[in-house]
Structure 1
Amino acid sequence: MFGLGRKAATGAQVPDGLRIYAIGDVHGRLDLLRALLTMVQADDAARGEAETHVVMLGDLIDRGPELAEIIDYFLAGPPPFAHYHFIMGNHEEMLLKQIYEPSEESLAHFLRFGGRETFESYGVPQRVLDMPERYSFAGLTDAVPARHRTFLSAMEDMVRFGDYLFVHAGIRPDVPIDEQKPSDLRWIRQQFLYSDVDHGVVVVHGHTITEEPELRPNRIGIDTGAFQSGRLTALGLEGRGKWLIVTGD
């Protein structure tokens, strides 16, 4: 069903004894996240013992209906079958920028691209969202509790297991991994998506919505637009094997 490039199909692997699941952009769909983690936990149990890790690829927030609830869900403790890693997406970056470096321009951009739903989930009144210029920035950002700010600020730029690098958006081709800029890791599109450069790793990412997961020689994209499609995707990796788990399939 999904084409595999040569390197992704034959060369890349994770270290022995590890099993990795990466989950694409959730965007406020707590219902799909719960369903997918139940599916992943069952899949993990069926495959036998391993040290299991779940990598959330970022954009937990914005656009969907249950944004604050997703962070509460992870703070309360998700299913304990795995170690969890949280990568910062561009939407988390936008919220943190609005909290710590606010400006009217960045606020207008954030509200247009999902920030309105985020602030609604934190209980910000409609009158503030309709005319934010009449209120202080604190009128919006004070609604985000300290424990959520701490959670968001602690998100990672990237995670690596063996031959797989997990980021939100992608990497800049021909730039060493340790010299990548956070802005590229969270925002890049065309330069990365259309590149056939061997990055030295297979990059697993979200950020760019596709109808089906994309498995290429140098990258695997698993953002299937959960907030609008109802299809949240996980990629499983063990040894040289890989498989997909998708809600709604």
Structure 2
Amino acid sequence: MQTYAIGDIHGHFDLLRGVHDLIADDMARHGAGQVVHVGDLVDRGPASAAVVEYLRCGIEAGQDWVVLRSNHDRLFTTFMADPALRDPCLRADLSWLHPKIGGAETLRSYGVRSAGDRPIEKVHADARGLVPQADVEFLNSRPAWHRANGVIFVHAGVRPGIAIEHQSEDDLCWIRAGFLDHDGPFEALIVHGHTAIDVPTHYGNRVNIDSSAAYGGPLSVVVIEEGEVFHLTTAGRVPLQPPQAG
């Protein structure tokens, strides 16, 4: 059975529905499969609330969907718990509501206005009244990794040399240095997002599927079946090949 993996969504509900349509068409030809979303449901895009509700309700209704924990989704739920709390991996000069992070757009999708221009206590009070607790609990309960079809799916990456069961959540949600520059094998092929690139890319030991939906790029989906990786497009499956040795 094939496994599908969708990259970082960042509040683009229209793009999410589009790739789910691609998956439905592919399943009609190849049979059912599980769908893994590698996180970053929220921030920067216009419809984070719709994305979270759609995925939460789909899973509650029995869809074979997996949604992974990620740094942006973690920033959202941390703010909802206590706006004074800081994620230890976030740069000291940034906050979730900083324009570079995009939390204000997430709150706007829930009906919280002018989140970047009002006292944080008032913004938080509005958010507590408008963001469904079911959405917060859903994001908080997401797993940080998933294994299927001989592949490990995470949001950001893994720390080399550490078994997936012993990886820290901070690394699984945030890592770049030490992972992206590692050219040796991992315990399995790693499929991840978090680091925006132009198109899904197979590096041999990992596959990055964050094709910059947060910055105006497309939302990408890959298919893993019998050890092969394919980029799923409107023209069908396109083999995603690692670089040739030598």
2:226 pairs with one of 234, 239, 245:
239
Identical counterparts, % of pairs:
35
1:124 pairs with one of 112, 120, 126:
112
Number of residues paired by the alignment? 228
Q: Which runs of 5+ in 1 are unaligned?
A: 1-17
1:109 pairs with one of 75, 80, 95:
95
Structure 1 letter corresponding to 2:111: G
What is the rounded CA distance, in whole Å, between the counterparts of 1:182 and 1:205 in structure 2?
14
- Match runs of 1:92-241 below 5 Å: 92-103=73-84, 109-112=95-98, 113-126=101-114, 128-133=115-120, 135=122, 137-241=124-228
What is the rounded CA distance, in whole Å, between the counterparts of 2:228 and 2:86 in structure 1?
45
What is the rounded CA distance, in whole Å, between the counterparts of 2:68 and 2:223 in structure 1?
17
TM-score, with length taken from structure 1: 0.84
Q: Which runs of 5+ in 2 are unaligned?
A: 237-246
- Match runs of 1:59-74 below 5 Å: 59-74=40-55
Q: Does 1:33 align with 2:16?
A: yes
On the 8 A contact 2:163/2:187 being kept in 1, the answer is: no
More helix by share: 1
What is the rounded CA distance, in whole Å, between the counterparts of 1:54 and 1:198 in structure 2?
25
TM-score, with length taken from structure 2: 0.85
CA 1:144–1:81 in 2, change beyond 3 Å: closer, same or farther? closer
Structure 1 letter corresponding to 2:96: F
Structure 1 letter corresponding to 2:20: L
State the superposition RMSD in angstroms.
2.4
What is the rounded CA distance, in whole Å, between the counterparts of 2:234 and 2:83 in structure 1?
37
Over residues 6-58 of structure 1, what are the superposed CA-to-partner deviations in whole Å (9 max), with x where a residue is unaligned? Answer: xxxxxxxxxxxx210000001011111111110111012112x34x1000000
Q: Does 1:53 align with 2:34?
A: yes
CA 1:104–1:77 in 2, change beyond 3 Å: closer, same or farther? closer
Displacement of 1:248 after TM fit?
10
On the 8 A contact 1:123/1:143 being kept in 2, the answer is: yes
**Higher RCO structure, 1 or 2 (CA under 8 Å, sep 6+):** 1
Displacement of 1:147 after TM fit?
1.2
CA 1:233–1:60 in 2, change beyond 3 Å: closer, same or farther? same
Over residues 78-127 of structure 1, what are the superposed CA-to-partner deviations in whole Å (9 max), with x where a residue is unaligned? Answer: 8x89610010110011011112243176696101101010111111122x
What is the rounded CA distance, in whole Å, between the counterparts of 1:92 and 1:105 in structure 2?
13
